[in-house]
């Protein structure tokens, strides 16, 4: 099984050689999860919506659910009362990198 990868400019993850487009919010969530070992609800909400004082508490849950569906089962793990983390088997490439050599070419 090939490791999933991500292209930052196009917000496309490569999962088992298959391109998976993401929304901006899903991409930002993936980057936040990549940047830390584990992030709790309060920290993720502050990072994703820093200027908002009132928000829908289900918004994070829905975004996590959508990202999990796109990346595949087991891609994001949760520890009760601790937070979420990106599965170590998920290889995320960010920045100016061109993405996976074995993946399909970008259109």
Whether pTM exceeds 0.85 = no
pLDDT band at 96 (very low <50, low <70, confident <90, very high): very low
CA gap 83, 85 in Å, rounded: 7
Q: How many residues does the chain have?
A: 107
The tens digit of pLDDT for each residue in 24-65 reads: 899 889 889 888 889 999 999 999 988 877 778 799 999 999
CA gap 62, 77 in Å, rounded: 15
CA gap 67, 69 in Å, rounded: 5
Question: What's residue 9's pLDDT?
Answer: 63
Q: What is the dihedral of CA 57, 43, 46, 58, to 10 degrees?
A: -10
């Amino acid at each position: 099984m090939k490791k999933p990868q991500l292209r930052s400019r196009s917000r496309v993850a490569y999962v088992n050689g298959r391109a998976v487009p993401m929304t901006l919010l899903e991409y930002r969530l993936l980057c936040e999860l990549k940047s830390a070992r584990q992030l709790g609800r309060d920290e993720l909400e502050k990072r994703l919506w820093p200027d908002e004082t009132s928000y829908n508490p289900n918004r994070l849950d829905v975004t996590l659910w959508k990202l999990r569906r796109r990346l595949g089962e087991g891609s994001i793990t949760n520890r009760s009362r601790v937070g979420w983390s990106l599965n170590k088997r998920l290889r995320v490439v960010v920045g100016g990198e061109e993405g996976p050599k074995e993946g399909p070419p970008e259109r």
